[in-house]
Amino acid sequence: MIFENRMWEELQPGMSAELKRLCTADDFYVFAAASGNHNPVHLEAEDGDGDGVREAVAPGMFVASLITAVLGNVLPGPGTLYRAQSLKFHARAKAGEEICARVTVTEKLPDNVVRLSAEVRRVGDDALIVEGSAEVEAPKRHMRFDALEVPGLISQRHRHFEMLLEQAEKLPALSTAVVCPEADHALDGALVAAEHGIITPILIGDPAKIAQAAKDVGKSLEGYELLPAMSGREAARLAVDLVNQGRAQAIMKGHLHTDDLLKPMLDKQTGLRIGRRFTHIFVMDVPGVSHPLLVTDAAINIAPDLETKMDIVQNAIDLAISIGIAVPKVGVLSAVETVNPAIPSSIDAALLSKMAERGQIKGGVVDGPLAMDNAVDIGAARTKGLRGEVAGHAEVLVVPGIDAGNMLAKQLAYISHAEGAGLVLGAKVPVILNSRSDSSMARLASAAVAAIHHNRVNGGKA
């Protein structure tokens, strides 16, 4: 866009200019962050007036700010400074609606001042939303800019998890064995999920430590079942027993080592094996990415061989389908996008892709090897001449080993501000696996994903 101004001498009554903008829910979150106005009636995730409908009404001053965009960008343009503004609101705009702001020169005043009428209308029905007038100091020098570099902003809200939570809250609560919720973060995650109606927790661990954790988070344990166990391994064994008895439909990790949690599940006689390897999957909600991004395996299988990678891919496809991705696009990552005999991960990726073509891996589209850039960015994929369904559009990222997976997941979390729901598949029931540093949203989302997956796999049966 070319930015060119009009000086006071050039302006004449009747001159007008306009700009159009599509209102988005993210615009309103950015405005809330910038202005400090957190009125929930403007936020898509909230019911701001208690009528049972989430409004996402455009903030009045956000709508009016489009008038300033016309003044500053077009008429009079760059260099314009405000003197006064009047506004009268007639209607409301909402997320998803396009609005048009128009200004018209009405009068030239002394001291380089110009008066303009202003209005904002809704595109489509031409409804008047706001009208008023502005007095501005016109630019004193002619300026022209071919482009102005303004940093892009990404709303750090987690819309995908919000949708998953809404979906999970409508399902029957998932009976969940919570193993060693003996620290505040571990217990709070389970209780918050229970408060949302996503799980019915069965707390297993040291009663004194669990009671202290409840005190630390300021919550009551009244109404929750508590089974005493004085060690992590004993608690994990009790959780497995509950699953085998049909009393638990999921297991949630509390304050214990992952090895201690998984060991009784892997017992060949009494464990929870179903024929596939246990594999870990992060469901990541990355701000700015239009779909959930699944990363696997970042927590269990250290250096998986080809057979293990088959289970890693299949488990990830199954989970992606559960959360609403009809035909998941799976990118198998390597350092390169061509097969190189010196890079084993590139060979495995090519074999997994061929296995999917032959029906040995089902339910998704698998392509590899892909480097990270051309797996998720269509521009990078086109530059490398990659034109398959997956390149540039990957929804599942399969990493070569635990180092790469862990680094990728933590980069997304700590640099890209993603939230990650952690789940282990391959057992009779989903295993909710969070780390101590995970946020409440991550723990809640993990429970939601487990409930949604259980519901699909079991045909909606509790």
Residue 154 has pLDDT above 70, yes or no: no
Nearest to 221 by CA among 178, 255, 171: 178
Question: What SS3 string covers 21-88?
Answer: EECCHHHHHHHHHHHCCCCHHHCCCCCCCCCCCCCCECCHHHHHHHHHHHHHHCCCCCCCEEEEEEEE
Share of residues in the chain with pLDDT > 70 (%) = 98
Q: 339 and 260: one domain?
A: no
Q: Please provide the average confidence, as pLDDT, over all residues in the chain.
A: 92
- Answer whether residue 402 is part of any domain: yes
User: At 235, which helix (H) or strand (E)?
Assistant: helix 232-244
Statement: residue 462 has pLDDT above 70? no
Task: Kindly state whether residues 396 and 327 are assigned to the same domain.
Answer: yes
- Considering the domain boundaries, does residue 412 fall inside one? yes
In a domain, 139, yes or no: yes
Q: Same structural domain for residues 326 and 410? A: yes
Q: Is residue 385 part of a domain?
A: yes
Q: Are residues 363 and 413 in the same domain?
A: yes
Instruction: Give residue 448's pLDDT band: very low, low, confident or very high (50, 70, 90).
Output: very high
pLDDT category at 289 given cuts 50, 70, 90 is confident
Do 342 and 201 fall within a single domain? no
Q: Are 284 and 270 within one domain?
A: no
Residue-level pLDDT at 6 = 93
Q: Which domain holds residue 354?
A: 277-426
pLDDT in tens, 44-94: 877 778 887 777 899 999 999 999 999 999 999 999 999 999 999 999 999
Is the pLDDT at 378 greater than 70? The verdict is: yes
Position 404 pLDDT exceeds 70? yes
Of 166, 191, 168, 192, which Cα lies nearest the Cα of 45? Answer: 166
Residue 456 lies in a domain: no
Q: How far is Cα of residue 97 from the mean position of the Cα atoms in its chain?
A: 23
Least confident of 19-23, 179-183, 398-402, 434-438: 434-438
H or E stretch at 4? strand 3-4
> Looking at the domain assignment, is residue 41 inside a domain?
yes
Residue type at 225 in one-letter notation = E
- CATH number of residue 16's parent domain: 3.10.129.10
Nearest C-alpha neighbor of 182 from the set 222, 241, 225, 228: 228
Residue 152 has what pLDDT? 66
Cis amide bond preceding 369, omega within 30: yes
DSSP-based three-state secondary structure for 17: strand
Residue type, 332: V
Is residue 19 domain-shared with residue 129, that is, in the same domain?
Answer: yes
Look up tokens 């995908």; give the residue: 160
pLDDT at 461: 62
How many domains does the chain divide into?
A: 3
Q: Note whether residue 342 is domain-resident.
A: yes
Residues 395 and 409 placed together within one structural domain of the fold: yes
- In what helix (H) or strand (E) does residue 352 lie, and over which residues does it extend? helix 344-357
CA 70 from centroid of its chain's CA atoms? 33
Pairing state between β 396-398 and 329-333: parallel
* Residue 401 within a domain: yes
Q: Amino acid identity, residue 246?
A: G
418: nearest Cα among 441, 387, 434, 390: 441
Which phi and psi angles does 192 have, rounded to 5°? Answer: -65, -45
Report whether pLDDT(436) > 90: no
3-class secondary structure, 7: coil
Is the pLDDT reported for residue 441 higher than 80?
Answer: no
For residue 244, the domain's CATH number is 3.40.50.10950
Residues 423-432 as b or e (16 or more Cβ within 10 Å = b): bbbbbbbbbb
The answer to whether residues 258 and 311 belong to one domain is no
CATH number at residue 389: 3.40.718.10
Query: Is the domain of 379 the same as that of 289?
Result: yes
Residues 87 and 141 placed together within one structural domain of the fold: yes
Looking at the fold, whether 389 and 313 belong to one and the same domain comes out as yes
Please give the Cα distance from 436 to 454 (Å, whole number): 24
Mean pLDDT of 409-434: 93
Residue 156 has pLDDT above 80, yes or no: no
Task: Give the percent of the chain with pLDDT over 90.
Answer: 80
Last residue of a domain, one of 91, 124, 145: 145
Q: Which of 135, 133, 131 is nearest to 83 (CA)?
A: 135
What pLDDT was estimated at residue 103? 97
Q: What is the pLDDT of residue 155?
A: 61
Q: Provide mean pLDDT across the span 293-313.
A: 96
| DSSP string of 112-154, one letter each residue | TEEEEEEEEEETTT--EEEEEEEEEEPPSS--EES--------
Higher pLDDT, 51 or 187: 187
**pLDDT of the residue at 153:** 62
Whether omega for the bond prior to residue 76 falls within 30 degrees of 0, making it cis, is yes
Strand order of the β-sheet with 431-432 is 225-228, 199-205, 174-179, 250-253, 431-432, 419-425, 279-285, 293-296, 396-398, 329-333, 365-370
Compute how many other C-beta atoms are within 10 angstroms of the C-beta atom of residue 57: 20
Average pLDDT over every residue of 381-388: 90
